[in-house]
Amino acid sequence: MKIPNYIFEYMLTCIIRYIYRFSYSPITLNNNEVINYALVSSNWFEIITKILSVIKIKNYNLLTGLIEAPISPTNQQIQKYKLIKSKDSVKVFNSFQQFNEDNNRDYRKIIFDLTHTPGLEAFKCLDMYPNDCEINLSAFRDELTSFLSDTSSSIHICKRDFSKIKKISIAEVSSDLVYRLLNINYNGEINYYDIFFYSNFKIKLHFKENSGNKINIDPLVFNPSDYNNNNNNNERVSLGILKKFSLETDFETLVVKAASNTTNNDTLEKQWDYIVNKLSTDQTLKKLTLNHTCEKGTCACFQGLDQALVYKGFAAILLNNSRVSTMELYSYIEVDQEIFKGLAGNKSIKSLSINGDSFPTIIRSVLSKNKTIRNIFVSTQNVENVIESLHLLQNNNQIDLYSITFDIRAPDIKEVLNLIKLNSYPNIQQLNIYNHHYFPSNINEIYHMKPKNTLINVVNNIEKN
């Protein structure tokens, strides 16, 4: 019986997606397995070339050896056997100069990542960039203010086509400048950092438009004066014209901002209730990050609000929002039980990132009730956290997870490795142990094993300091 090509293509697609699933971690990967599959037959070579032309892998350093280089001075005969053709690849340039120095323009897509350069120069010379490119850039207060306040070119600016610019990250700016960006018809993605570096309770909110739902959180970002001072047409534009918007702020700024955006002299409690209700029902909130870095007994982050009221509010957001799919929860002090109650009752979060101190409580109080969470990322420097968690997970039939990833920073994880070899984790499909540490010796272990039903991946990388 001859197996049809679409069966091979499906099998190889699953395998390749699995091989490159951790594209952010080059020390765990090489291309040998994919190359061996491509050598099976000319038919498999063509199938793998087709798969690699469409699969999303954001690790150029890993894949560079597989990519065709038509202008390479090396043997041109070799280039035709490259698995990724130049015309199917995405090329990222960090400057326009790099683009000019590259003689090959035959790419599927060109991206200019200008997030680490004075990116607003791209605004002024958009015509120089190729029509089918994407531009990601950063902006700071002074250059953005100067650019948007240039009345001599304001008419010209408003008539520009900004579709090439897909993402703008802006820091050290006030919300009125964000609003003025909207007024020049920019409608891509904005990452807005409305935060002081010394803040101890940071909050990140990531929003994304979806079918029938536009981003609608302007009162959490703008002052009423923004609408009046920066729109020559007296028309109120909003964040709803954006495809994506992320706000990094702190608790104090968020509550005070909401208070300043109302004409009523409402109490802080009422303003916090407003924020909770807004985020509880928002249909575009995709990711929520809470990062509380106060030392125990020293917290003064809540602006006179009762701490219990604050955490009940966060719990209400988790219980009622049906769109948020990713949460990051980090805290130097013990996480309030209300947060765990909210997580236990949440029906939409699939990926959860936490620090190691919280994980045992997550296992006991959340995972036995919440079957929606599928992937957990645990960051810790304390091996004891990992050991306690693994003991709670072994032979635990109350949980059902796709993956748990431990990101450890410790000089020795032998006890962890011995524990996972000796025990069973039947309801966890994948257990990943990553350890990276600097120590007076070198250890570089990468191996995979599958005792019973769980695939276990271990990367133990200790570098000599």
In order of 48, 65, 81, 358, 463, the CA distances from 42 in angstroms are 10, 20, 11, 51, 41
Average confidence (pLDDT) over 24-29: 52
User: Distance (Å, rounded) from C-alpha 460 to C-alpha 413?
Assistant: 8
* pTM summary value: 0.80
Retrieve residue 334's tokens: 């013990």
Convert the pLDDT of each residue in 62-81 to its tens digit.
Answer: 666 677 666 555 566 666 66
Q: What is the spatial distance between Cα 87 and Cα 109, in angstroms, rounded to a whole number?
A: 9
Using one digit for the tens of pLDDT, what is the confidence trace for 389-405? Answer: 999 998 888 899 989 99
Return the structure tokens found at 404: 């748990």
Closest C-alpha among 250, 242, 168, 160 to residue 204: 250
Over range 258-270, report the average pLDDT.
Answer: 66
Phi, psi of 320 (to 5 degrees): -105, -25
In the prediction, which pLDDT does 81 show?
Answer: 66
**Structure tokens, 16:** 């390749």
Single-letter amino acid code for the residue at 337 = Q
Residues 173, 179: Cα–Cα separation, whole Å? 11
CB atoms within 10 A of CB 440: 8
pLDDT-derived band of residue 434, with 50, 70 and 90 as boundaries? confident
- 151: its two tokens: 């009345």
Q: What is the domain partition of the chain in residue ranges?
A: 1-88, 373-465
The pLDDT value given to residue 154? 46
Report the chain's mean pLDDT, rounded to a whole number: 79
Q: Does residue 263 surpass a pLDDT of 70? A: no
Q: Between 82 and 42, name the one with better pLDDT.
A: 42
Q: Is 173 helix (H, G, I), strand (E, B) or coil?
A: coil
Comparing 132 with 225, the larger pLDDT belongs to 132
The partner residues of 330 in beta bridges, in order of sequence, read: 291
If one compares 168 and 461, the residue with the highest pLDDT of the two is: 168
Question: Which pLDDT does position 26 carry in this prediction?
Answer: 47
Comparison of pLDDT for 190 and 4, the residue scoring more: 190
Angle between helices 251-260 and 268-281 (to 10 degrees): 100
Start-end of H helices in 282-434: 307-320, 337-345, 359-365, 383-393, 414-422
Model confidence band, residue 418 (pLDDT cutoffs 50, 70, 90): confident
Q: What is the pLDDT of residue 197?
A: 59
Q: State percent of the chain over pLDDT 90.
A: 20
Q: What pLDDT was estimated at residue 61?
A: 63
The rounded radius of gyration (Å) of the Cα atoms in the chain is 25
**Backbone conformation region of residue 212, classed left if phi is above 0, alpha if psi is from -120 to 50, else beta:** left
Q: Answer yes or no: are the C-beta atoms of 37 and 48 closer than 8 Å.
A: yes
What letter does residue 395 receive in the DSSP assignment?
Answer: T
Residue, of 378 and 133, whose pLDDT is higher: 378
Alpha-carbon distance of 57 to 50, in angstroms, equals: 14
Higher pLDDT, 227 or 360: 360
Judge whether 180 and 147 are in contact, CB under 8 Å.
no
Q: How far is residue 320's CA from residue 454's CA, in Å, rounded to a whole number?
A: 33
Q: In this structure, how many other beta carbons lie within 10 angstroms of the beta carbon of residue 132?
A: 10
d(CA 194, CA 237): 20
Where is mean pLDDT largest: 7-21, 32-46, 152-166? Answer: 32-46
Tell me which of 241 and 18 has the higher pLDDT: 241
Residue with tokens 């949460």: 327
Written as one string, the DSSP assignment of 67-80 is: B--TT-SS-HHHHT
- Cα separation, 125 vs 166, in Å, equals 16
Residue 155 — pLDDT band, cuts 50, 70, 90? very low
pLDDT exceeds 90 at position 217: no
pLDDT at 416: 87
Closest to 416 measured CA to CA, from 458, 454, 356: 458
Phi, psi of 332 (to 5 degrees): -80, -20
Residues 110-129: pLDDT tens digits? Answer: 888 887 766 566 766 777 88
Percent of the chain exceeding pLDDT 70 equals 73
Does 325 have pLDDT greater than 90? yes
